[in-house]
A and B are shown apart, each in its own frame.
Chain A
Amino acid sequence: TQLLEQSPQFLSIQEGENLTVYCNSSSVFSSLQWYRQEPGEGPVLLVTVVTGGEVKKLKRLTFQFGDARKDSSLHITAAQPGDTGLYLCAGDQTGANNLFFGTGTRLTVIP
């Protein structure tokens, strides 16, 4: 079993603050995906990164894939209460979508 560790596990911040969530592994992944999951719902894809060192931006969210394709980060600028949720990273080793999910980061943005 490949382990994807996310940190922090829980994060509570004030509206307007910046934050970074980390996803680390000792394994190399062909791609890494970030999802957001609401209670009682399935994960919803935010972004996929495939190239080492790749940076992708989605409005106030910035995703980076590590050079060695073992880790990734999600940076949120000026967090909003609507950003509150569970953020999951998931790695794909073989390109077969047999995703290994991370442990998750539960973000709470306080108005």
Chain B
Amino acid sequence: EPEVTQTPSHQVTQMGQEVILRCVPISNHLYFYWYRQILGQKVEFLVSFYNNEISEKSEIFDDQFSVERPDGSNFTLKIRSTKLEDSAMYFCASSVLSGNTIYFGEGSWLTVV
């Protein structure tokens, strides 16, 4: 069964460093998303992406965050200068169309020290 894959599964980084989280969405899906979940808290929407541009973003997705689809398969989330409070599980997700079933990856656990 097709699935969303994410790398790395776990990354530890020093505060102020740049981090890139990578995702390979399901191949025929057109909409891509990033969500995050701080330990013990709710899953929160960060951004949605369609047709090579951001569709919507939340208040969390500030200037420190960016997304990119550098080639035909990868979808990346970049955090330019990490803060301690960026420590969280970051989930990539994709769907065929907006409003269709959304499939989540297994997550990338980011620890900022």
Contact = CB atoms under 8 A, between A and B. Distances in A.
Do they bind each other?
yes
Interface of A: 30-31, 33, 40-45, 48, 88, 90, 92, 95-104
Interface of B: 4, 31, 33, 35, 42-45, 48, 55-56, 58, 89, 91, 93, 95, 98-107, 109
Contact of B103 (A30, A40, A45, A90): A45
Given A40-B107, A42-B106, A43-B91, A96 B99 contact: yes
Secondary structure type dominating chain B contacts: strand
Question: Is chain A's interface secondary structure helix, strand, loop, or mixed overall?
Answer: loop
A103 B42 contact: yes
B101 A41 contact: no
Given A97-B33, A100-B45, A44 B104 contact: yes
Nearest to A3: B42
Nearest to A38: B106
6 contacts: A33-B102, A42-B104, A97-B33, A97-B48, A98-B56, A99-B102
